[in-house]
Amino acid sequence: MNLAYPVTLTTYANGQVGASFCDVPEAHTAGNTEAQTLDRAQDALVVALSCYLDNGRPLPTPSKAKRGQRLVMAPPRAAIKLAIYQAMRDQSMSQAQLAERIGVDGKQVRRILNLDHESKLSQLESALAALGLVASVEISSAN
């Protein structure tokens, strides 16, 4: 599942740099520098995507970056949780059904789907496996 969203940076007359996402219109932020704005953009993206979970909406599919656009990715733990959420939607699986499959109570599944909760990687991997998925890691340069 690709969770790298293209971001458009705009420099305003006052020198601030704004960030907006065409695929996630709810996510926008600004900062004093491009670096600060990109850091804040990741937070804005996660907050906006968490609203999709809260409202039971499907996650938006990232479009291909256009010339001049950078990509902002959901942090690894959030990306796994978002993938679990989307797979549950795609498979019409309830939280209770997932809880039963991985042998935990419903409260644990709610925590797994909470982007702010520091779920253990082993729990996330169990949830992915119950959905027929596996996480893989790709490491790349930060630039």
Query: What CATH number is attached to the domain comprising 12?
Result: 3.30.160.250
- The mean of the pLDDT values for the chain is 94
Mean per-residue pLDDT for 101-116?
A: 94
CA distance 114 to 77: 10
Same domain, 59 and 10: yes
Mean per-residue pLDDT for 84-96?
A: 97
Same domain, 104 and 69: no
Mean per-residue pLDDT for 118-123?
A: 94
pLDDT, position 1: 86
CA distance 98 to 68: 41
Report whether 50 contacts 115 (CB < 8 A). Answer: yes
Sign, CA dihedral 139-113-61-12, equals negative
pLDDT, position 142: 72
Binned at pLDDT 50, 70 and 90, residue 140 comes out as confident
**Domain end marker among 31, 58, 73:** 73
CA distance 131 to 81: 12
Specify the CATH number for the domain of residue 94.
1.10.260.40
Q: Is 136 a member of any domain? A: no
Same domain, 116 and 67: no
Same domain, 10 and 42: yes
pLDDT tens per residue, range 32-54: 999 999 999 999 999 999 999 99
CA distance 100 to 35: 44
**Domain end marker among 26, 54, 73:** 73
pLDDT, position 83: 96
Residue 48 belongs to domain spanning: 4-73
- 143, pLDDT greater than 80: no
What radius of gyration do the chain's Cα atoms show?
16
Global pTM reads 0.91
Q: Is 117 a member of any domain? A: yes
Q: For the chain, what is the domain count?
A: 2
Same domain, 69 and 85: no
**Domain end marker among 36, 51, 73:** 73
Same domain, 81 and 117: yes
